[in-house]
Amino acid sequence: MNIQFTYLPGDGIGPEVGAAALFVLETVSDVFAHSLQIEAQLIGGAAIDAGEKPLPDATFESCQRTGAILLGAVGGPKWDHLTGADRPELGSLLPLRKRLNLYANIRPCKPYDGLLDRAPLKRDRLEGTDFVVMRELTGGIYFGAKGRDAGGAYDECRYSEAEVERIAIKAFDLAMQRRRKVTSVDKSNVLETSRLWRETVEQVSRRYPEVTLEHLLVDAMTMHMLTRPTDFDVVLTENMFGDILTDEASVLCGSMGVIPSASLSDGTIGLFEPIHGSAPDIAGQGKANPIAMILSAAWMLRLSFGLEAEASAIEAAVAGALDASEVTGDLGGALTTAEVGRAVAQRVRNAA
């Protein structure tokens, strides 16, 4: 098969973890006799530095055409003086998600066995943790009107019933394939958008009588996630809460550097990216953990190209590398970003 995708390394550690993931993809395509057609494009601060818009037209066109996108991260202190749509985050990543209608962001929290002792929680409390966060990705406060006025500053948060309904359906459909439980997280004691969220999720849940529905307020959820992580199956939540809760979930999994994500629409386009950002504090030092990016590449093979054996081969290689402590410093190892990429690739080759 010809695996054609758009590659957006972006900023900070993006190009570093991206190079490691590409190395693994090249090995997989060699082992499984595929060809790779990589369309590398500019995004974020890297695009700004090249004299382009944060989301250049050529980049968007490539994403639309290939329908499979592997992205590192955007943003960093170098561009923090910029405002509004001139910023990498507001001018590239958010419009990319919005314009491609990638409203369903799926982020897994299933600690690898080799990392169970790295989390602050004891192994016996963590063992069996396996939940997925279904985060709404194209609505809410990140996309509302924002600005400054005489009174200070404002960020508007809006959700339509249709926006809540479609992400709730995704969550319930996913729960039907898993352990049939949805935990919907909102702030309905205070926010009107959350009241709509809760009512709509209730309505959708009536179509799924086999699925147990639980509602939690987001402040309490930050505690429940740490005290009873094994209780959750599908966690359904809005854009900003999902952003925050999944960084917290990374603590259960050992590091920010191990959680991949898929952002999907109702069509065939998929955007695959680690949940972490550009990590300017470690950029350029070979310290970044590439596993989240490598797993995002595996998800791209599975979800955009239907290459299940190839995706599973990468995931098995990652599990093997973690068991053998072939890891970067965030996981207590001594390997560089590139060395982890090579170690995972070697395991893919050895298993073939």
Ligand X SMILES: CC(C)CC(=O)C(=O)O
Is 287 known to sit in a ligand binding site? yes
Options 121-129, 132-140, 255-263, 305-313: segment touching ligand NAI (CB under 6 A)? 255-263
- When the beta carbons of 70 and 204 are compared against ligand X, the nearer one is 70
Handedness of CA 23, 25, 31, 37 (dihedral sign): negative
| Angle value at C-alpha 77, between 95 and 139, nearest 5 degrees | 25
Report d(CA 179, CA 145) in Å as an integer: 38
List C-alpha distances in Å: 105 to 97, 108, 130, 189, 255.
Answer: 10, 10, 17, 25, 19
Which of 142, 159, 170, 330 is catalytic? The answer is: 142
Binding span for ligand NAI by CB under 6 A among 74-82, 114-122, 156-164, 216-224? 74-82
**Sheet architecture: strand order including 104-109:** 35-40, 2-10, 68-73, 270-272, 262-264, 104-109, 131-136, 234-237, 181-186, 212-217
The smaller minimum CB distance to ligand X, of residues 136 and 330, is found at: 136
- Min CB(348)–ligand X separation in Å: 28
Answer yes or no whether residue 182 interacts with ligand NAI by CB under 6 A: no
**Residue ranges in 262-301 that form contacts with ligand NAI under rule CB under 6 A:** 273, 276-282, 288-289, 292
Q: How far is the CB of 138 from ligand X (least distance, A)?
A: 11
Q: Report the run of H or E that residue 49 belongs to, with start and end.
A: helix 45-49
The bridge status of strand 234-237 relative to strand 131-136 is parallel
Q: Report whether 300 contacts 5 (CB < 8 A).
A: yes
30 included as an active-site residue: no
**Interaction of residue 330 with ligand NAI, rule CB under 6 A:** yes
187, 208, 233, 330: which one is catalytic?
Answer: 187
CA Rg, the chain, in Å?
A: 20
Rule CB under 5 A: which of 193-252 touch Mg ion? Answer: 243
CA dihedral 166, 168, 174, 180 (to 10 degrees): -150
- Shortest distance, CB of residue 288 to ligand NAI, whole angstroms? 4
11 is a site residue for ligand X (CB under 6 A):
no
The count of other CB atoms within 10 Å of the CB of residue 206 is: 8
Q: Is 326 in the site for Mg ion (CB under 5 A)?
A: no
Kindly list the catalytic residues: 142, 187, 219, 243, 247
Given the rule CB under 6 A, which residues bind ligand NAI? 13, 17, 73-76, 89, 93, 255-257, 273, 276-282, 288-289, 292, 330
Report the binding-site residues for NAD(+): 76-89, 277-289
Given the rule CB under 6 A, which residues bind ligand X? 89, 93, 142, 243, 275, 277
